[in-house]
Amino acid sequence: MSIEQNIREISRKLLSDGVVDLIIGYGQGTLPYATTPVFIRNADDVEQLIWNPCCTNNLALYVRRELEQANKKKDARPLKIGVVTKKCDAKAMVELIRENQLKRESIVVIAVPCSGMLDKAKLHKRAGDRELLRVEVSGSEVILAGRGFEIKVNRDEVLRDNCLVCKDPESLPIADEIVVEKDDYKKPYVEDDFSDVKEHEKLSPQERWAVFRAEFENCIRCYACRNACPMCYCSECFAECSQPRWLGGSVELKDVLFFQIVRVLHQAGRCVDCGACAAACPMDLDIRKYTRKLNYDALNIFRFETGVSPDDKPLLATFSIDDTQEFITEPE
Amino acid sequence: MKLIKKNRLKDFLNTLMNYYDVFAPVLKHKKIRFQKISTPEEVILEYSNTHNKPTELFFPQCEVLFEVDLKENIPEQPPKPDKPVIVFGIRPCDARSLQILDKVFHWDGVDDPYYFARRNNAILIVMGCTEPRSTCFCTSVGSGPMDHNGADLFLTELPEAYAIEPVSEKGKAVFEQVNDLLEDATEGELKSLAELTRRAEQMIDSEVNLNGLSDKLRGMFDHPVWDEFHLSCIGCGTCTYLCPTCHCFDILDEKKGNYVRRIRFWDCCMYPYFTLQSSGHNPRPTQKQRVRQRVMHKFQYFVENFGEIACVGCGRCILNCPVNLDIRSILKRLMEVKG
Amino acid sequence: MKQNNKPEKEKTHKANPDWEPRIVAFLCNWCSYAGADLAGISRLQYPPNVRIIRVPCSGRINPLFVVKALADGADGVLVSGCHPGDCHYISGNYSARRKFVFLKHFLDYIGIEPERTHFAWVSASEGERFAKLIAKVVREVKKVGPATHFKQDNCDVN
């Protein structure tokens, strides 16, 4: 049995036993490197569920949305959702539970042992920006094919960066149903020393701003980063707030950079590093470079990691009397 | 029709740059998009299509309509373009999308001055598509990879040269300007041009039958099929902001100190705030209505208003949707269900 | 498409030695604002570069306010509240402190010099401390000169 069949089997059972009303998982996409989220309410439809190394979207986003919408309806039976969950989805759900956005009892976590997801941008780069018509994964090899070319690449080299630093992707912080099948490929693990962040910090402020500006002045303000992010759930985003209006309508620096700075800052102590923002960005902006700084600070200053346990309070909702003061300006 | 040898293309562009501001596909931050060029070397010729829509040259994401200094109280109009513009290397689908935008910005016989100031100032040198992408479905929406509609000059890449054909009066004038660089085509080259055209059309393997869709959609506003599509949509603006025919905008007055300006900028029907009224009521409260609006606008309302589908089949939305919500799948499903 | 052809009004501090920074100060109502008041009543001299915005508590400060001030043309920002332990609302400044760590480090990381963003504690009785603090902040901001981060020739409306 494959992971995929295992997922289907669990989902079929959950639906036909009436344990859950809805399964959120991944279905076949129309592009060779894409899957699309599917919503299954009927046990007969579980064949739509698939599993492959292109299941990049973070489903926690949909879980929160569906529950919120269901809870708006009065007198409705509380909705229960089964979620096909890889580690980053689980971490996001942990954070959402912590922030009272999800109830643990409303979800059934179908824990899938993930072996890392493929990075769309890396695939395209490896194919020399030629169009990909077929992406085939077998073991530690990925075959990229298009009109008149077929190349084999090492799977390790086309994984997303956040997958490389993901430790123990097979052990999830929350799980109810466990997919016991395993992929025969084992993803490499690179210990996250935040060397990229430290390297960036060595630049001068002018250089750092130049890097930041050169990246984000290309933002088209489509808000895909925000909307793909499981942690961006504000019912009114500051970007759209009209009283007061924080953000102008233009794509000039004062608006795009301001939007990106504040959106990223809102992830302080919350970002689960699932890579959804960067994957969603149609302009391929390196958003993760900046959210990682926040994770680095959380770890470095507060010894805090997101997505570990649903029982603690969020980092910024608590404080300690002994918190760091080194950044405070003293008049003398 | 004449030919321009590939090694003379640089001279061709240089000649054009003497008379015009030339916009062409360039690589800007990992993506190919149209920008004003200062040397022919910047131009990228091997591209299936630009990442961003070229219609942004005519209807930019944000433009100042006027500005006022409150101390002097005199509104200032933005400066008019002083040099005619050539857009070099635009694909037939995108050239067609400009014809669609022309209709929108000429609604009820009134020209939008900002759009047409740029539009009438520009000459389109269209580059035929010899290598369409798998997501291209231009043939399904009444066009094709070698569609001359909307072009002023039409270029087709042959093995060693570009075939160049003037299509409009404007195009003929440019044709004269560069005449020295052109050569006559041989019999064999004419043949290979015809062959290429045929081949390109065959290469479009993604086809959606849209016969009668707009009539069918007219009665489908409340159809249960609309409950299926929006679930995976995250409500971002990727599809609309990359779509060459999407043209919805918002207008805002911005003030800082004594300086006031009115700007017009793209808006997007995928956002809840697009239709939020000041009373707090939102006629499109969920993503279901928003996704339906986008499909209906392109394939029904637009057909009713302007007699044409507002989609050119460029496939940008398919390639870039973060959740792979494919417009072709939606259309196929809509064609399947009983109206 | 560049629209605004207004002449560039900005002068660098090198070109213009008389340049004075504009600094936005968010002061908590209970301590720092009263401290500023005391500095005024006591007729203490301090540089006139700060524009004070009174807020109920330093915990009220959304990092957005600080970024907005910088994006709209402030050369520096100061946030000041009660000393730890003295918050009128018991723990507002403790919560604020956690936020500010991230904010200060993050702005530094993207390239907004740390000399521009300041967080401090000033109590209601510390008029002199307030005057000294402002002097220091102004000194620091002057070191790095006018903020040009968000300026672009077509949106510079200062």
Same domain, yes or no: B46 and B152: yes
CA pair distance A3, A113, nearest whole angstrom: 8
Q: How much is the pLDDT for A240?
A: 92
Same domain, yes or no: B183 and B111: yes
Does residue B66 belong to any structural domain of this protein? no
pLDDT digits (tens, 9 = 90+) for A1-52: 899 999 999 999 999 999 999 999 999 999 999 999 999 999 999 999 999 9
Does residue B62 belong to any structural domain of this protein? no
User: Which DSSP string do the residues of A172-237 spell out, in sequence order?
Assistant: -SS-SEE-----S----------HHHHHHHTS-HHHHHHHHHHHHTT-----HHHHH-TT---SS-
| Domains of chain C from N-terminus onward | 22-144 (3.40.50)
Same domain, yes or no: B91 and B143: yes
CA pair distance B210, B227, nearest whole angstrom: 21
CA pair distance C141, C79, nearest whole angstrom: 14
Same domain, yes or no: B42 and B95: yes
Across A212-238, average pLDDT: 96
Same domain, yes or no: B26 and B86: yes
Does residue B89 belong to any structural domain of this protein? yes
CA pair distance A177, A83, nearest whole angstrom: 10
Q: By CB neighbour count within 10 A (0-12 exposed, 13-18 middle, 19+ buried), where does B217 fall?
A: buried
Same domain, yes or no: B45 and B185: yes
Specify the 3-state DSSP secondary structure of C15: coil
CA pair distance B57, B37, nearest whole angstrom: 13
C3 touches chain B (CB under 8 A): yes
Q: Which residues of C touch A268 (CB under 8 A)?
A: 99, 102-103, 106
Same domain, yes or no: B166 and B26: yes
Q: Are strands A35-40 and A141-146 parallel, antiparallel or unpaired?
A: unpaired
Across C128-148, average pLDDT: 96
Does residue B58 belong to any structural domain of this protein? no
Q: State how far residue A167 is from chain C, nearest Cα, in angstroms.
A: 25
* Contacts for A67 with CB less than 8 Å, ≥ 6 apart: A79, A81, A102, A103, A106
ipTM: 0.94
Note whether B208 and B245 are within 8 A (CB): no
Residue B105 amino acid letter: F
- Averaged pLDDT of chain A: 95
Q: Do C4 and B79 touch (CB under 8 A)?
A: no
Residue A142 amino acid letter: V
C neighbours by CB contacts (3+ pairs under 8 Å): A, B
Does residue B259 belong to any structural domain of this protein? no
Structure-block tokens of residue A18: 């009436």
Q: CATH code at B122?
A: 3.40.640
A269 → chain C, closest CA residue: C102
pLDDT digits (tens, 9 = 90+) for B117-143: 999 999 999 999 999 999 999 999 999
B286 → chain A, closest CA residue: A69
Range of the domain at B24: 2-52+79-203
CA pair distance A182, A135, nearest whole angstrom: 21
Same domain, yes or no: B32 and B102: yes
Does residue B257 belong to any structural domain of this protein? no
Ranking A301-305, B65-69, B86-90, C58-62 by mean pLDDT, the lowest is B65-69
**Count of domains observed in chain B:** 2
Does residue B65 belong to any structural domain of this protein? no
Angle, vertex CA A162, rays to CA A160 and CA A167, nearest 5: 120
Selected for mutation to probe chain B from A84, A222, A252, A263 (highest B CB count within 10 Å) is A222
Same domain, yes or no: B45 and B110: yes
Q: Which residues of A touch B (CB under 8 A)?
A: 29-31, 34-39, 57, 61-62, 69, 131, 133, 147, 214-215, 218, 220-224, 226-228, 240, 248-252, 279-280, 282-284
CA pair distance B313, B206, nearest whole angstrom: 10
Tell me: pLDDT of A325 over 60: yes
Q: How much is the pLDDT for C14?
A: 57
Specify the 3-state DSSP secondary structure of A37: strand
B320 → chain A, closest CA residue: A282
Tell me: pLDDT of A259 over 60: yes
% of chain C beyond a pLDDT of 90: 84
B103-to-B56, B63, B170, B236, B244 alpha-carbon distances in Å: 16, 20, 20, 26, 14
Q: Which residues of B touch A227 (CB under 8 A)?
A: 234-236, 322
Backbone angles phi, psi at B28, to 5 degrees: -130, 115
Among C3, C5, C157, select the one facing B256 at the smallest CB separation. C157
Same domain, yes or no: B172 and B299: no
Q: State how far residue B62 is from chain C, nearest Cα, in angstroms.
A: 9
Q: Do A211 and C111 touch (CB under 8 A)?
A: yes
Same domain, yes or no: B14 and B160: yes
C110 touches chain A (CB under 8 A): yes
Does residue B64 belong to any structural domain of this protein? no
Same domain, yes or no: B182 and B218: no
